[in-house]
Amino acid sequence: MVKSGYKRKTFAASEDLLNQLSTIAESKGLSLYSLINQVFTLAIRAEELNVNLEKTVDESDVLEQAKDSGFILIPEGLWREAIEEIHLKDESWASRKGFEAGEWLAKRCTSKSLKDPLGTFLFNLERSLWNIPEFNVKREEKRFFVRLVSPRLSKTHATLIGSMLEGALHAFGYAVTSRDFSAGTAWLLAEKEGDGTNIE
Amino acid sequence: MAPILSKERRDKQLIFVPGHLVDEIRDASYKAGKPFNVFVEEVFHQVLGSLSLGYSLEQFTRLLEVAHTQRLSMTLIPLEVLSYLTGKADQAELQAKWFEAGEWYGKYLCEKFQNPVQALKRLLEATRWDLDEIDVEEEDLVARFRCVSAILSLEETESLLKFIEGAMGSLGYRTEKNDHVKGIILLHFRHSKPTNRKGDT
């Protein structure tokens, strides 16, 4: 008996989809058979990695944006330990560096020809903070409220992210009128000042 | 994009695919709780979607690795904050943490991938955007790593080196040669327990 691995099997698929795949195969110098083999191998790989194919493109966009914005991926456990260690030596580092980082990230957005640089910044930041389950933004014409909630958020981490938001809002022309950075949550309320951004 | 579950009748076409792939896709569809044909059409739609955005299948496969990496307890932080931390931390302790993190990832990669050394290379490619070049060569029981970055400081270079050593240590390799300067890492490893390699009895 021939093992199934050496046999071909047939199945029926939408002619419309196959025509599209056939066009792509031709453009790549492949047969439709080869391309479908690759597609199936990809789908099996996604299953092995427990990754949703549909979300993969969206998630890759998050990382591309993060990469372009000057972020980097590091092990979370190491990150959490490192920030606390620095905090023991310098309690002001999180608010200081966070603010600077936020200003810089905001300036990146405003330097591009974006229709809504603040909206873009917040959208990308929310997607980057994938381990923060709650990220709420309430934006009115001249007022801005943002809140993050996560049971894993230490006070230092909350201060860092909150200060980053504060620095960004400052660059976008907002003044923070009240804030709270605590273990588990960070929120701030800001109001627009002047007519424009604070970009120098 | 045409609705996948439309009730419209569509013309169908028979295609040939290697039997083992069909079997594996059928298993995947069962796990996803979807009928085989629906699952396959969804896969086709998703892949067509990514190809329409300009990704090749090879790039899309790499995207899967990256998306998977997100689940490996990684977090995004501003690079300048990482640089600041690296400069301020006690170097011995920081390097020990990177080594430990590397050990953890090494163990995970060993369980998840047929070739964990190449998986480590892909992990570095997916996560270390501050690296300009990553080369990994394997020959018999020897593995050679070469990493180059124009922006890493000496401390950051040494932290990354410790991460790689930790990971390779978990995979059963010992460091034979360690050569590094600011922004460049050259590591040679040799597998220390050949009888424990994956797949061996």
What chain B residue is nearest to A55 in terms of C-alpha separation? B67
Binned at pLDDT 50, 70 and 90, residue B199 comes out as very low
Instruction: Write down the pLDDT at residue B159.
Output: 94
Q: How far apart are CA B102 and CA B108, in angstroms?
A: 10
Token pair recorded at residue B61: 């496969």
pLDDT at A2: 40
B73-90: average pLDDT: 86
Query: A26: which residues sit within 8 A by CB, 6+ positions away?
Result: none
User: B75 and A57: CB-CB below 8 Å?
Assistant: no
ipTM rounded to 2 decimals: 0.73
Helices then strands, counting H and E runs in chain B, come out as: 7, 6
pLDDT at A200: 40
- Residue A158 — pLDDT band, cuts 50, 70, 90? very high
Higher pLDDT, B56 or B40: B40
Q: Which chain B residue shows the shortest CA-CA distance from A12?
A: B14
* B189, two tokens: 């490893």
Mean pLDDT of B102-126: 88
Least confident of A39-53, B9-23, B52-66, B77-91: B52-66
Q: Which stretches of B7-82 are assigned E, i.e. beta strand?
A: 12-18, 74-78
Cα A157 to Cα B154: distance, rounded to the nearest angstrom = 26
| pLDDT at position B55 | 76
Query: How close A173 gets to chain B, by Cα (Å)?
Result: 22
The reported pLDDT for the residue numbered B57 is 80
Lowest average pLDDT, out of A63-67, B8-12, B80-84, goes to: B8-12
Task: Tell me the pLDDT band of A4, cut-offs 50, 70 and 90.
Answer: very low
- The C-alpha angle with vertex B162 and arms to B157 and B166, in degrees rounded to 5, equals 150
Mutate to test the interface with B, among A37, A56, A152, A160 (most CBs of B within 10 A): A56
pLDDT for position B79: 84
**Unique residue bearing structure tokens 């790499």:** B62
Tokens of B118: 């190449």
Cα angle, residue B145 at apex, residues B142 and B147 outer, rounded to 5°: 175
**C-alpha distances in angstroms, B47 versus A62, A175, B61, B62?**
18, 45, 10, 13
Q: Which of A84-93, A98-107, A111-120, B177-186 has the lowest mean pLDDT?
A: A111-120
Asked if B44 and A5 come within 8 Å (Cβ–Cβ), the reply is: no
Give the closest-approach CA distance of A114 to chain B in angstroms. 20
What's the mean pLDDT in B35-63? 83
Name the band, by pLDDT with cuts 50, 70 and 90, for residue B70: low
Per DSSP, A45 falls in state: H
Say if CB B161 and CB B178 are below 8 A apart.
Answer: yes
* Cα(B175)–Cα(B165) distance, integer angstroms: 7
